[in-house]
Amino acid sequence: MRKILVIGTGGTISCVKRENGLEPAFSVSDLLKEIEVPWEIHTEQLFNLDSTNMTPRHRERLARKIRECYGEFDGFVITHGTDTMAYAAASLSCLIQNSRKPIAFTGSMLPMNAENSDAPKNLRSALKFAADERAFGVNVVFGGKVFDGKTVVKIHSQSENAFDGEQFGFAEYRGETRFYERLSDDVFHVKLIPGQRLYIPETAKAVILESYGAGGVPDYLLGEVVELADVKGVYVIIATQCQSGGTNLEKYEVGQHAAKMCPLLETGRMTVEYAVARARWALAYSENYEEFKKLFYTENGEERI
C-alpha cells in the first residue's frame, strides 16, 4: 500500500468565514475527514497561514520537512493557498531537485466546508497523483490538471481553473535527487512601467527587471542599470511581462546595446516566479558572478534559457 504524507500550510482550503473575511483554521487532519482514499495517509501541520504571508523561510522549512521524511513515504501532498502557490512550487523545485518521488501542491478556490467547494476534488486528485508509481517531481495539482512546478502560474483570482503551465507528462525519470536548504533574501523584482526610474535597495545582490516584449532596457534607464551591474556588482536579470515567448536580448537594439554596456542575464522562457526562485537559490549557493550564472542557467547539465 502506498504511503503518503500530507503537509498542511493553510490557505483557502483550510479557511472558515470570520467577521473580517476568510481565515485559515482547519488542520490538514480536518480536511482529510472529508476524503476517503485507499492509501496509508499521514499528516503534518507545519503552519496554518494565508499564503500571502509566506516567506522564503516557510519554503525552506517545508523542504526540510520533506527531506527529513523522504525515506519514509512514497509521495507528498502539500495543502497551500493559491495566491503564492506558484512561488512555492518554484521554490521547492529549486530546493528539492529531480525528486524521484511526487511532491504535489494543491488547494482550492473555496474552503473545504463551503457549498460546491472544489477542495475535495483537488485534494483527492493530489493524493491520487502522489500515490502513482509513475509520478515524480514537484507539481501543482489543481482543476483536474497536473502542472510542472517550474512553469506553473496563477492566471485567475476566482475561477476553479486558476492555474496554467506545462502539464506533467509521465516521462522517464532522470537525474539524481538533490536537496538544498537555503534561499537568499537579497533578490528584488521590479516590473517596469513606461517612464519610471529604478529604486533598488542597497541590500540587493540580484535584480530581476521585468521588461517588455522580448526584453530590453529603456535608454533613460541604461545609466542606472550600468551602475547597478558594473559599479555596485548587482546581478541584473532581464525578464518579460509577456506570458509566452520568453526573452531574447539579441532581437532589438535596446537589448543588444544594453548587453554590450554591462553584463546582463535573461530569463528566457522561465516564468517570473521560477526566475525569482532560481535567483534566490543560485545566490544562496554561489560566491561570484560566474558561479551564480552557471547555477541560474543550468539544470541536469542543460541550459534552461
The structural domains of the chain, with segments of one domain joined by +, span 3-179, 187-303
Taking residues 233-260, report their average pLDDT: 95
User: Any idea which residues carry the catalytic annotation?
Assistant: 12
Residue 304, pLDDT score: 53
Residue 203, pLDDT score: 94
- Beta bridge partners of residue 96, listed in sequence order: 179
3-state per-residue secondary structure call for 175-220: CCCEECCCCCCCEEEEECCCCCCCCCCCCCCEEEEEECCCCCCCHH
Residue 305 has pLDDT above 70, yes or no: no
- DSSP state letters, 9-34: EESGGGEEEETTEEEE---HHHHHTT
262: helix, strand or coil:
coil
Residue 299 has pLDDT above 80, yes or no: no
What would the pLDDT profile of 132-190 be if each residue is shown by its tens digit?
Answer: 999 999 999 999 999 999 999 999 999 999 999 999 877 766 789 999 999 999 999 99
Residue 195, pLDDT score: 94
The answer to whether domain 3-179 and domain 187-303 are alike in fold is yes
User: At 22, phi and psi to the nearest 5?
Assistant: -70, 140
The answer as to CATH 3.40.640.10 being correct for domain 187-303 is no
Residue 300, pLDDT score: 57
CATH classification (class only), 3-179 = alpha beta
Contact 142, 62 (CB under 8 A): no
- Greatest pairwise CA separation for the chain in angstroms: 62
Cα 270 to Cα 277: distance, rounded to the nearest angstrom = 10
N-term to C-term CA, the chain? 40
Please state, in angstroms and as integers, the Cα–Cα distance from residue 264 to each residue in 105, 174, 281, following that order. Answer: 33, 31, 18
Closest CA to 114 of 7, 37, 14, 9: 14
193: pLDDT confidence band, cut at 50, 70 and 90? very high
Taking residues 81-96, report their average pLDDT: 98
Residue 172, pLDDT score: 65
pTM of the model: 0.94
- Beta bridge partners of residue 104, listed in sequence order: 77, 139
